[in-house]
Structure formats: C-alpha cells, structure tokens
Amino acid sequence: VLIAETYARNGAAAISCLTDSRFFQGKLEYLTEIKEHLRGLGKEVPVLRKDFVYHEYQVYEARMAGADAILLIAGVMGDKDLRSLRELAESLGMAALVEVHDEAETDRALKSGARIIGVNNRDLRTFQVDIETTSRLRKLIPPDKLLVGESGIRSGDDVRRMAAMGCDAILVGETFCKLPQAARGAKVAEFSAAGRV
C-alpha cells in the first residue's frame, strides 16, 4: 500500500498490482487495500490486476476486488479465451491490457478486438530484454489502439524513447521495485516528468 501511495503521489497515471501468489508473492487483497487506501487519500488512480488470468472466474474476482483493468497475456492462452476474457472484462467496466511479445501474438491480440496492447520487451521464454521490441511491433498496431511499452524501461531517457516509438503509456515494475522505498518517489517523478507513466 505504501509503494502504491508513493506512485500515486509522484504522478503515476495508474498502478499495477501483482496478485499472483505462486510466482510473485502477490494477493488479490492487496488490490482492494490499495484502492481503498488511495480513495481515502482522495486519489482515484486506476489499478490493474497483474496476474496470469486464464479463467472467467478471475475476471469476476478482479472486478469484485476493485480492479479497473486486467492483464491478459496472449502467449499463455488460445484465441477463444483471449477474446472471451477481454469481452467479459469490458462488459464489467474494466479495461483489458493484452500483452504481446512478437508478431504472431500482436496479430492475435488485434483479431481478439483488443483496444489496449502492451508490448513486453522481455521475452518470457528466455527473460532477455530488448527495448526495440516495442519499435518493431508498433508498426503492426493501428494508431487507434492504445500502446503500452513494458519492461526494460530504466531511465527518463528510456521513457522518452518509448514516447518516440509511439507509446501512449508505459508499465514499469522491476525498475521501481528494486529501489529502496526512499528513492522510489523521485524515480516515479522523473519518469512522470518524462511522460507516459
């Protein structure tokens, strides 16, 4: 909750909350606590449920917990599930951030009707990061879709590079989380000043 407050106070336009317990020690309860805490501070910042969502139950669960958006990873689900989970999220008033890493996943995301596409610069098979992945895939994504650059964004210069590539927003996790709490606010503010956090 303290980390989310730091993000909100320093200009983050939205907050990503890890709710996966198996790999990331997250909990769905954290999302609810963050929403309530920020609301108490007068900050209505949207919160994304960042998890391996693969079942409609998780979409309903996210809505009940207060999520404004969910993450759908194209690489871990079939076309039918990708479309149906996205449609369900949107019918419940949530946005669906559809994450892709390559051309085939980008094509699938577009065919699913995704409105918000996140390009993960980290290959989840090898964990290698290449920030140019966003530039390469941007060419395939129509300008009427929101583009979110994800992973490998470490500096204000990287934020500006993502903007130059046509990103409407960025999703930053590791860079902020590796910092001591006392340094996080300044880094979020630096990224916010550069745009698109």
**What is the per-residue pLDDT across 30-49, written as a single tens digit (0 to 9) for each?**
999 999 999 999 999 999 99
Residue 196 confidence (pLDDT)? 58
Fold of the 54-191 domain: TIM Barrel (3.20.20)
Residue 33 to residues 2, 18, 36, 42, 148, Cα–Cα distance (Å)? 10, 13, 5, 14, 25
Question: What pTM value is reported for the model?
Answer: 0.93
Q: Can you give the residue ranges of every domain in the chain? A: 54-191
Residue 21 confidence (pLDDT)? 78
